[in-house]
Amino acid sequence: MTGHPTAALVPHGLRCEHLAEPLGIDEPAPLLSWRLSSPRRGDAPARHRVRMWAAPANAPADAPAVTGAPVWDTGEVRDAAAVSVRYTGAPLSPRTRYHWEVAVTAEDGATAVAASWFETGMLRPSAWRASWITHDTADLDVVDAPEEGELALADHGLQPAVRLRRTFETSAAPVRARLYVTARGLYEMRLNGRRAGDAELAPGWTDYRDRIDYQVLDVTALVGAGENVLAATLADGWWSGYAGFDPRRLGAHYGAFPQLLAELHLDHADGSHEVIATDATWRTRRSPVRYADLLKGECHDLRRDTPGWDRPAFADTGGWRPAQVTGTDHDLLTASVAPPVRAVEELPARGITRTGGDRHLVDFGQNFAGRVRLTARGLTPGARVVIRHAEALDDDGALYTDNLRTADATDVLIAGDDPEVVFEPRFTYHGFRYAEVTGLQDLDAADITGVVLHNDTPWAGDFACSDPDVERLYQAIRWGQRSNFVSVPTDCPQRDERLGWLADAQVFLPTACLNADVAAFFTGWLREVRGAQSPGGAFTNVAPRLTGVADEGAPGWGDAGVLVPWHLYRVYGDERFLERNLDAMCAWVDHVHRHNPDLVWRHRVGPHFADWLAPEPTPREVVATAYFARSADLTARAAEILGRGDAARRYGTLAGHIRKTFAERFATPGGRISGDTQTAYLLALAFGLLPDDLVPHAAGRLAELVEAAGPALTTGFLGVGLAAPVLDACGRPDLAHALLRRTGPPSWLYPLRHGATTIWERWDGYTEERGFQAAAMNSFNHYALGSIGEWLYQGVAGLSQAPGSTGYRELLIRPRPGTLTWARAAYESVRGTVRTGWARADGELRLEVSVPPGATAIVHVPTGDPGGVRESGVPVAGAAGIQIIGTEPGALLCRVTSGDYRFTAEDPSAAVP
C-alpha cells in the first residue's frame, strides 16, 4: 500500500472477474474491482484511477511488478459510487501476466493505492497446439481374471484409469512455466513426481458438447534443468462415468473413454520459449486405479503399481504404449471462471467403534462431501480394505445406505508389497458422516481423516445469536452449501443424482450469496443454464444437461434462468449478469407466453413439480402463473437497466397483464387464493400479484394458516424461503421467529434435535414415530429448505440492502429481535464490510452498525421510545452522519453515511406489559 501518508480511505480485496489473482482468464474485457475501508464517518471516494502494465514473459519471479508505461490508464475518474471498472484498452495478449493498481482519492485529497495482477489464458482457440490423446482402448477391454484364491472384484462395468507420461529436456530451469490443461473426464497432473496444482475433480462438469473448461497451473517450481517428466492420471468423471439416476442412461453420457489435452509453456531468461504438448509421442498404461467413479467409488490395486512412473530415469517399456490421438479440435475450450474444487478442510474421527473382527465404524461428527484418507497398516499382498460411506445409521447402529439408491459409495484398497500405505481416492467423492472400514485388525483415530471437498468460494458472511439451536441451524445451512457446491450447485452429494437442479439453486441463492462470494461460481454455472436452453426458449430442469435428459423446465425450475441472473446483479452490481442472460430470459418468457396466450400457465409445464415435497399441495396453475408473472417482471426490469426500452415496455406490459389475470382467476374479493395454502399466499404476496386492497386480507389469511398449523410451515421447496421474509413484511415477525425456533416436526430444529448436521431434503426425513422416510427420495444433505438462512442475516440480524439498491450501495438495517437476547452478522460486500449487531440488557437495546465507504444505510433502531435514542452517548438528533427520517411502530428510522455507529435505545420489548 502506497500513497498519501494520512490516507484513511483505502482500497483492498482487489478482484479480476470476481477472483483474486486469477491464473488464466479468457475474458477480453475483464472487470477489475476493489473494496473500501475507512475509520472515518462519511468517507467516500472522490475519484479513482486504474492503471495496468504487461509483464514480459521472461521476467524473473522477483522482478518489479510495475515497470515502464502502462498499457491502460483510466485517468482520474470522478465517481463516488464506483468500486469497479471494465477494461477498455487494446486487445489483451494471450498467456500474459498483467499487473494493475487502483488509486483511490478521498474528498480531503488523501490517496491510497492497492495493486494486484491477473494472467490471461489462451484467449482464442487458434492459440492451442495440443492434440487430444487417450490410451489404446482395446487394451482396456481385457479384464483381468482373479488370481488363485482371490475373490473376483466387482468393477461395475467400468474401465481402469490410465497413466500418461512424456519426457522432455531443458537446458536450464525456466523463469516461468505454465501448464494449460483439461480433459474429457478427470485429470491429475504431475511434474517430476510432484503434483501440479491443487484442484480436485478437475476440470469440473460442463456439457462437454458445448463447452470444456481448462485450467492454468503455475508449475515454475517443478521444472528443472535436464530431463523432466510431465505425467497425468486420467479417469472417467462426469464425461464417461455414472451420473444421474436415469435407468435408461446411467453412464457414458458424453463419451466412452476419457481424453487429455495439455500444453506446458516454458519461458527462459534468454527470451526463448518452449512448448510441450499432448501428442502421439506420449506413452500410456493402465494405472493401479482399477476403476474410479463419482457414484460407485474408487478401487486402487497396488499390485499393479509402477513406482517412479512420473519421474525421470524411468523405463516406460513393457505395458506402456503410444498414446492415441483422437482429435485436434479446440473450439469448445474456455478458461475456467469459477474457483476450483479443492480439499478445503480435514475432519478428525470423532469416534471409532469395532463392529467385527476387522470391521470398524468411524463417525466424523459431520455430514459432508468428500473422501477419506486412511493409513492402513499390517497389510499383506493382495489384502483388501473396503471403505463404505453413509449419512446415517439404522436402528441397529449399522450404516444406513438404502437412500443411496444405485450409488455404491464404496472405495477399495488392494495391497501390494508394502505393509503400510496411505490410501486416498482422487477421482470420486461421497456424501457421508460415517465410514465403515473393513479389512484392518486395528484402526486408530489418527489413521483416518475426512477430507472435505467443495468449490473454494471465499466465505463472505457470518451470523451468530443467543440461541444455540439457531446457531446450529446456521452451521447446518453452511455445511449444506459446502456439500453441494461441487463443480455445479447440486441437489445432494450422496445418492445417484447430484444434478444441477435449477429450482434448488434459485431458492437457495439469496442465502448462498450471503454465506460466500459465489459470483464467479454462478457465472460458470449460468453458462450451462444458457447452453441447455432449447431453440424454442425453454430452460431445462437441470444444468449441465445429460444425454437423454432434456425435460423442459417446470415452473419455478425453468424460471431460475431469470431469477438467478437478476439476484446476482442485485448482490454484486455487475450488469454483465443481465447482459449475458437477457436474451435467454426473454426467450424463456416468450416460450411460456407462446404456449399460454390466456396468461394462465397450464401448458408446456415440463414435469411440473409444483411446490416440491410440500406437506400441503398448492394448485399447480397458481404456482405456475405466479412464476410466469415474476419472470416477465424481472425480464422487464433487466431490459430497462440495460437500456432496451422496447423490451422493457413489452415485458412490463405482459407482467401487468399476468398479475391482473392471476388476481381475477385465483383471488376472491375477500383476498382468498385458490387452494388456500401457505405457499399460494406466499407467492402472491412476495411477487406482488394482488391489488393493494387485497394485500391485508391475504396477509391475514397467511398468518391464520401458519398459526393453525402449529404455528408451523406446510410449504415445500418453492414456498419455504419466502415464509419468514413475507411474514416479516406483513407485520408478523413474531410468527417468523416462532417458525424459526419451532422444535417439533415440521421444522428446521427438529432434525438438529435428532442429530442432523446438515439440512434435510424433507421435513420428515426421519421421525420418531415412522423412522426413515421412503429411501427413494430421502437425502440428509440437501440445501433447499435451508433458504431460511437469508432471513437469519436480513431479519434476525437486520443486515440487508434497500429494495432499489444494487451492490449494497444503500443498506437496510432492520433487525427483528423477537425473543432473542442478541444477534450479529457480518458480510463482505462488493463495497466493503457491512456489520450489524444488537443486544438487549437491563431494559436497553444496543445496536452497532458498520457501513462501508461510498455506501449509505437506512437504520431501523428498535425502541419503545424514539425520542430517547442515543448514538455514541449523545442524542441521535445531534450525532454526526445521521439524519432522522421518521418512525414506525417500535422503531426510529435514520439515514446514515458510511462509518461505525453505536445506538442505544429503550428495548421495545420492555415497553410491552
Catalytic residues: 497, 761
Residue showing cell 463482505: 828
Q: Which helix (H) or strand (E) holds 398?
A: none
In this structure, are strands 23-25 and 111-120 parallel, antiparallel, or unpaired?
parallel
DSSP lists the bridge partners of residue 132 as 327
Distance, C-alpha 553 to centroid of its chain: 21
Residue showing cell 487394451: 139
Mapped onto helix, strand or coil, the DSSP state of residue 749 is: helix
| Exposure class string for 46-64: b at 16+ Cβ within 10 A, else e | bbbbbbbbbbebbbeeeee
The one-letter amino acid code at 626 reads A
Question: What DSSP letter does each residue of 517-550 carry, written as one string?
Answer: --HHHHHHHHHHHHHH--TTS--BSBSS-BTTB-
Cis before 544? omega within 30: yes
Among candidates 217, 484, 215, 445, which has minimal Cα distance to 346? 445
CB 642 within 8 A of CB 579: yes
What whole-number distance in Å separates Cα of residue 58 and Cα of residue 174? Answer: 8
CB 463 within 8 A of CB 792: yes
Tell me the torsion sign for CA atoms 406, 482, 30, 262: negative
Residue showing cell 490395486: 301
Among candidates 577, 534, 569, which has minimal Cα distance to 552? 534
| Exposure class string for 845-871: b at 16+ Cβ within 10 A, else e | bebebbbbbbbbbbbbbbbbebeebbb
Residue showing cell 503399481: 305
State the DSSP code for 77. B
What whole-number distance in Å separates Cα of residue 455 and Cα of residue 842? Answer: 45
Contacts of 49 (CB under 8 A, 6+ apart): 73, 74, 75, 76, 77, 102, 103, 105
Question: What DSSP letter does each residue of 864-896 carry, written as one string?
Answer: S-GGG-EETTEEGGGSTTEEEEEEETTEEEEEE
What whole-number distance in Å separates Cα of residue 710 and Cα of residue 707? Answer: 5
DSSP lists the bridge partners of residue 332 as none
State the DSSP code for 349. -
What whole-number distance in Å separates Cα of residue 145 and Cα of residue 284? Answer: 22
What whole-number distance in Å separates Cα of residue 746 and Cα of residue 744? Answer: 6
What whole-number distance in Å separates Cα of residue 656 and Cα of residue 637? Answer: 13
Among candidates 677, 761, 184, which has minimal Cα distance to 501? 761
Mapped onto helix, strand or coil, the DSSP state of residue 607 is: coil
Question: What DSSP letter does each residue of 261-292 carry, written as one string?
Answer: EEEEEEE-TTS-EEEEE-STT-EEEE-SEEEE
What whole-number distance in Å separates Cα of residue 314 and Cα of residue 189? Answer: 17
Distance, C-alpha 232 to centroid of its chain: 28
From residue 21, give the alpha-carbon distance in Å to each of 32, 98, 99, 409, 546: 11, 10, 10, 36, 33
DSSP lists the bridge partners of residue 392 as 400
Angle at 886 between CA 42 and CA 722, to 5 degrees: 90
What whole-number distance in Å separates Cα of residue 536 and Cα of residue 591? Answer: 6
What whole-number distance in Å separates Cα of residue 802 and Cα of residue 896? Answer: 13
